[in-house]
Structure 1
Amino acid sequence: MSPGWSFAAIALLAFAVMEPITYAVHRWVMHGPGMAWHASHHRARRGRFERNDLFPVCFGLLTVAVLIAGKAVPALAVLLPVGAGITAYGVAYLVVHDLYAHRRFVRLPRGLPVLERLAAAHRVHHRSSGEPYGFLVPFRSFRAGASAATARRVTARDRAGRD
């Protein structure tokens, strides 16, 4: 495999692995000992930022450290594509979660079916503070904590302008 392909493959793998990591951090850290920060995300926002925004700052700093280590230490060069995959996941999360689902900073157009399903699953989480904890693949939202019927009701209520 050429170096470019291996970089891309490792970055894609890192991107994919980020979803279960996000699930675990969200469920057992943010809804656990990190709730002092995360609670601000489950309340009406006062101002442009919320205390929960400290989480992506911390995650970003860790990712920068991974990238620096991958560049500075030849034996750790594999961390460069890992850091690239983590960064790509962070960008996807920002777009889907903050820009599309919560309509923060800019208002992306509505009506994209895949993004609407993700936003509806996230609304289920906000209403219950339970499943789904993952975000880009919230498959558990319709198996644990909320039925498909619940998700349909949430989506229908939101389309009708009620929340």
Structure 2
Amino acid sequence: MNLLIVLGVFIAMEGATWVIHKYIMHGFLWVLHRDHHDHSSEGPLERNDWFFVIFALPAIALLYFGAKQNFSALFFIGLGITLYGMAYFFVHDIFIHQRAKVLSKTQNPYLQAIRRAHKQHHKHLGKEHGECFGFLWVPVKYFRMYFNSR
């Protein structure tokens, strides 16, 4: 049962990410997210990196209180959020934005589709007219672009 909770939360986080990215990060918290689009920050960190802290706090609280309650469902909800956050960091920051040069020349169609969809998202420098707000689920047109070319 606990594995199902972790998996379900991980999957649900994709929808939550889309909503948070579109309506919060491109909404009232654009002040933190803007430098991720216009590259106005100086140095290795962006104001956008504060979102890691913001999203980690509820996960940490769920892990802590769930562990205190003899590893209740709260713990496994927090674990699902944490695993999604780790996946987000590795795919978004390391793979897509190449904060570490890994898989930069991949020919994997799925990874190419993720990278292309994210590039479409970043072609808009302002907070309006965005597209591709998700993370691991990519619109079908990007899958077709790379899977049909093989």
Measured against the shorter chain, the TM-score band is 0.7 to 0.9
Aligned: 1:72 with 2:68: yes
TM-score (norm 1): 0.78
Structure 1: gaps of 5 or more residues:
1-5, 143-147, 153-163
Structure 2 unmatched ranges of 5 or more:
146-150
Structure with higher RCO (Cα < 8 A, 6+ apart): 2
SS of structure 1 residue aligned to 2:61: helix
- The yes-or-no answer on 1:38 pairing with 2:25 is no
Using the size of structure 2 for normalisation, the TM-score is: 0.84
State whether structure 2 residue 13 is matched by structure 1 residue 8.
no
- How many aligned positions are there? 137
Aligned residue runs from structure 1 range 19-38, under 5 A: 19-38=14-33
What's the counterpart of residue 101 of structure 2? Answer: 107
Q: Distance in 2 between matches of 1:80 and 1:51?
A: 29
Q: In the alignment, which residue of structure 1 is the partner of 2:112? A: 116
Shift of 1:89: 0.7
Task: State the Cα RMSD in Å.
Answer: 1.9
Higher Rg of the two aligned structures: 1
- Counterpart of 1:133 in structure 2: which amino acid? F
Partners of 1:10 and 1:139 in 2: how far apart?
A: 26
Mapped to 1, the partners of 2:15 and 2:46 lie a distance apart of: 24
Q: Secondary structure at the match of 1:31?
A: helix
Q: Return the offset for 1:49.
A: 0.3
Deviation at 1:113, TM superposition (A): 2.2
Name the structure 2 match of 1:17. Answer: 12
